[in-house]
Amino acid sequence: MNSKFKMILQDIDAVIARDPATHSRFEAILCSAGLQAIIAHRGCHWLWNRNFRLLARVLAQAVRFLTGVEIHPAARIGKGFFIDHGMGVVIGETTEIGNNVTLYHGVTLGGVAAFDKHGKITAKRHPTLGDNVVVGAGAQILGPIVIGNDAKIGANAVVLKDVAAGQTVVGVPAHKTQHRADASRKFAAYGVCAADKDPIECRLEALETELRELKKASSRTKS
């Protein structure tokens, strides 16, 4: 139980470290719905692992009603977890989350049925997030995929494939951005940085520039 208490303290300190609007542990406990949800989940997960599963589910539903955050009691969540703003977050049953992960409001870690080589549905249906992952508001990470350590998922991205460690992805479907090599381990609010370049946007800009040059060349030829 002592280790559980230490983990909850780390969750509280994560709020203070990553939310500039929160200035004390007392304020975090009273005012952070995401923190309230994760503290309750620690208890529900403890009950789930001791086969009080119906009670764990009922309590998790009550927490969902009170905080707007839905976490299945079976989900495995590491230390230093932070849900900013909280409302609308869904974390499915077979989700695994590493240490020091940040989720923003409206994030879904959802389940998609996967099949083994014999055509049977596998037990693992939800994503696995590594350490220090940041997931922006409204992002959807679906299926038994792996998000590597230090990865960043941009707001409203839809992620259906594995994301490599240190990579930033944006868009629908999600695709990686171009960013500085030293930026992968830095915290980025909402999973994106203004300095990151979207390669699709860069290609479109290059095409527009090429079209303008072609039009200029064509007008010079006609004249």
Q: Which residues are catalytic?
A: 105
Residue with tokens 């049977």: 120
On whether the CB atoms of residues 74 and 91 are closer than 8 A, the answer is no
Dihedral angle sign, alpha carbons of residues 143, 106, 70, 13:
positive
Phi, psi of 104 (to 5 degrees): -105, 175
Dihedral angle sign, alpha carbons of residues 45, 4, 152, 104:
positive
Question: What number of CA atoms fall less than 13 Å from residue 61's CA on the CB side?
Answer: 6
Instruction: Tell me the DSSP string of 83-151.
Output: EES-TTEEE-TT-EE-SS-EEETT-EEE----B-TTSPBPS--S-EE-TT-EE-TT-EEESS-EE-TT-
Q: Which amino acid is at 103?
A: L
Nearest CA to 191 out of 150, 142, 130 is that of 150
